[in-house]
Amino acid sequence: MVKVVIAGATGRMGHALIESVLNDADCVLHGAIDREGSPQLGRDVGEQFGRITQVQLTCDINTALKGADVLIDFTRPEASMRYLEHCRALNIKHVIGTTGFSDAQRTSIEEAAKEIAIVFAPNMSVGVNLLINLVEQAAKVLHEGYDIEVVEMHHRHKVDAPSGTALRLGEAAALGLGQQLKDCAVYAREGVTGERKTGTIGFATMRGGDVVGDHTVVLAGVGERIELTHKASSRATFAQGALRAAKFLSNHDDGLFDMRDVLGLR
């Protein structure tokens, strides 16, 4: 049994993760963490599902992690950095689904992976990770005469843009073109922008309502347009992918992995 701790346990994603762990025969809920001041601190986290788990919500990271195998973390970059340091000190494996990291924070994750095993992916969905592979292949084939745009929409509460998944799709498209995304990305258009530059990858971001996550990569040529789309209707798909990642880490002591490693798509 994989002993799992959930960070951000009272959030929307935290709820989905806890429910998935409670219903998984290969995992056991070992701990649950939330911010200081949460009104639910000290309560059994299974109450919301009509179950008694003997796991009480805590803001003490070390208490929650003691004796655990893996921490699953879909929070915010600053919180994830704190969790990372605790995991590193306690030799706990770390599944990171948080997005919006700076380059320096990404470097910290890479350094930590020399000591502990980490799955770091902006999207844990099986379907999205298959889409990433398809986008790279499509860009390789359609590298001449086609313009690439990445369009994404999320709920009104999302704080980073473009989404981590959109950026990952852009990276896959750039790789297919033999480029680095930083050299060809266009993140905003306003006013008189002039004609579209050949070889660029554009991004469009929408926010509103309760949209879980929609992503489309458009490859527009003359006389035809290919659209590769993934739409998530439930956070359960991300939770299930995160549990697959947690189980994958059972066979690794250190190293940095993503969902393509977990799913055998490399």
Residues paired with 164 in a beta bridge: none
CA angle 67, 77, 260 (to 5 degrees): 75
- Using alpha carbons, select from 224, 205, 231, 214 the residue that is nearest to residue 147: 224
Q: Which residues contact 53 (CB under 8 A, 6 or more apart)?
A: 22, 29, 44, 45, 46
CA pair distance 95, 74, nearest whole angstrom: 9
CA pair distance 227, 148, nearest whole angstrom: 10
Catalytic residue among 158, 231, 247, 252: 158
Which residue in this structure is represented by tokens 């473009």?
Answer: 162
CA pair distance 230, 215, nearest whole angstrom: 5
> Is 154 a catalytic site residue?
yes
Half-sphere exposure of 76 (CA within 13 A, CB side): 9
Catalytic residue among 154, 155, 231, 252: 154
* Alpha-carbon dihedral angle through residues 125, 234, 50, 2, given to the nearest 10 degrees: 0
End-to-end C-alpha distance for the chain, whole angstroms: 27
Active site residues per annotation: 154, 158
